[in-house]
Chains A and B, each alone.
Chain A
Amino acid sequence: MSWLYARALIVLTVVLVLVLATLFAALPPV
């Protein structure tokens, strides 16, 4: 059971890193 959560958290981490990296590169500095 906990393995499913672990897998989901790994996928979530990778997706969030990619989203944040894209936003960082695309958006101008504040």
Chain B
Amino acid sequence: MRKTLRAILWIGVYLALALGPLILLLVMPRPPQREFWREVAVALGFAGLSLMGLQFIPTARLGFLADVFPMDTTYYFHHWTSVAATVFIVAHPLILIANNRYVLILFDLANAPWRARAGITAGVAVIGLTVLSVWRKEFKLTYEPWRLLHNLLAIGATGLALWHIFGVRYYLASPVQRVLWTALPAVWGGLLGYVKLYKPWHMLQHPYRIKEIRKERGDCWTLAIEPVGHAGLTFEAGQFAWLTIGKSPFVIREHPFSFTSSAERAGSLEFTVKELGDFTSRLKEFEPGTPVYVDGPYGEFQIGRSINVRDEHEAPGYVFLAGGIGSAPVMGILRTLADRGDERRLYLFYGNYDWEQVTFREEIEALRRRLNLEVIHVLEKPAPDWEGERGYITAEVLDRHLPDDRQALVYFICGPIPMIHPVRSALRQLGIPRGRIYEERYEMA
């Protein structure tokens, strides 16, 4: 419940920051009113800028927000509010032109005043930013150069848009508006500075180094790291951290990975990664001893606050539904529960392509001896003599293995997006309450 209250509080803060500028425009004294559509266009411009500025708040990197909102949801939110902000920003000049075609004169960049040049360039940058983000894969842009371009365009567009509104100076002639539009960018910039400057500095003071990189089944690699000159961080099973490997933490090179080691074993940390993109495929090339910087832990896909408080869900047992490398956080949870001597009922429905690709296969078998764990492998393309479940994790498969008191258990789904939706539907079909289903998607930007 406390988490729900915190979520409501932060949603309130978000709405105040997003809509506050428009509300202040409405209720504070302002200059004489102009035509209806001209004012609509101005309001949409201000709303677009305040929404765009809010996107600078790095939700996933601020612990107090990451604890409340799952990272995949905040990225989804970032994506779609940014699209809405772009629509408002593009609507601003279009409505102005439709209302009065002489506004087009301002698009003659050679002769236009600087405030118009700044506004138009900001608009073009915002359109570029949104197009490159929505269709990144179609443009064949890999993650790292895209992210650098994304950050540069966002900072450039916001700076130019602020220049535009201060330059036009119609509503910003009011001291209240000037204070507001100075304070808002200060908040955005302050949070950005905290994440881009303070945090890397803090990480630099608490370095780790690679202890070992070992091959796992299913094109996966486990990265084991150890702290250098400090005790190392503590985390909850199921959480993740951002890693920067072999580079300065000030360089934009971090990647989010789930902890796969036990939360009960302090010091050494392990992460298991599937070879998917450019960075994950290069991981195996790093040498032991390479410096690693860890920003974390983050994430609310977790169990247990500490060994004394068994877990916050008060569940008589857990059901894990993992697809492929979605098993990474689940392994962290199982290892932690085994180290705690947990005796509750556990079920792992584990979907893979074939038997050879089942990551952690041998270790899961070993964990069965330490835990009250039932493992149900579901193979898409099993060998002809396979006697287990075939195909995907469906309602029928779940129904065959779940106990009668299934509604009392807590469910964790973790895997790629195409797997999450059908598994969630299957659970709902079996009457599992929404509040007992937790999800983590392994696909974001």
Contacts and interface: CB of A to CB of B under 8 A. Distances in A.
Interface string B308-346: 000000000000000000000000000000000000000
Interface in A1-30: 1-3, 5-7, 9-10, 12-14, 16-17, 20-30
A10 B76 CA distance: 10
B73 A29 contact: no
Contact of B51 (A7, A12, A13, A25): A13
B37 A17 contact: no
A29 B32 contact: yes
Contact of A21 (B15, B22, B76): B22
A22 to B, nearest CB: 7
B22 A24 contact: yes
Interface in B393-426: none
A13 B87 CA distance: 13
B383 interface: no
A30 B40 CA distance: 17
Given A6-B73, A13-B15, A20 B84 contact: no
Contact of B23 (A9, A20, A27): A20
Chain B, interface SS category: helix
Contact of B28 (A22, A27, A30): A30
A24 B43 contact: yes
Nearest to B34: A25
B372 interface: no
Given A17-B88, A21-B47, A29-B31, A2 B69 contact: yes
Nearest to A10: B80
B121 interface: no
A21 B48 CA distance: 11
A13 B43 contact: no
Nearest to B7: A5
Interface string B79-96: 011001000100000000
Interface residues of B, number: 40
A21 B434 contact: no
B26 A23 contact: yes
B27 A30 contact: yes
Given A2-B73, A14-B84, A25 B39 contact: yes
Contact of B76 (A3, A14, A23, A29): A3
B44 interface: yes
B26 A20 contact: yes
Contacts of A28: 33
B73 A26 contact: no
Nearest to A9: B11
A17 B44 contact: yes
Nearest to B68: A2
B27 A25 contact: no
B29 A1 contact: no
A17 B27 CA distance: 15
B43 A6 contact: no
A24 B25 contact: yes
A10 B434 CA distance: 21
A29 B11 contact: no
A2 B300 CA distance: 12
A19 to B, nearest CB: 9
Of A1, A9, A21, A27, most buried by chain B (CB within 10 Å of CB) is A21
30 contacts: A1-B437, A6-B74, A6-B77, A13-B18, A13-B84, A16-B19, A17-B18, A17-B19, A17-B22, A17-B43, A17-B47, A17-B51, A17-B84, A17-B88, A20-B23, A20-B26, A20-B43, A20-B47, A21-B40, A22-B40, A24-B42, A24-B43, A25-B37, A25-B39, A27-B26, A29-B32, A29-B33, A30-B27, A30-B28, A30-B29
Given A13-B15, A24-B42, 19 more contacts: A6-B76, A13-B19, A13-B51, A17-B51, A17-B84, A17-B88, A20-B23, A20-B26, A20-B47, A21-B22, A23-B26, A24-B39, A25-B39, A25-B43, A27-B26, A29-B29, A29-B33, A30-B29, A30-B30
Nearest first, the 5 A-B pairs at minimum CB distance are: A21-B43, A25-B39, A20-B22, A17-B47, A25-B40
Interface of B: 11, 14-15, 18-19, 22-23, 25-33, 36-40, 42-44, 47, 51, 69-70, 73-74, 76-77, 80-81, 84, 88, 434-435, 437, 439
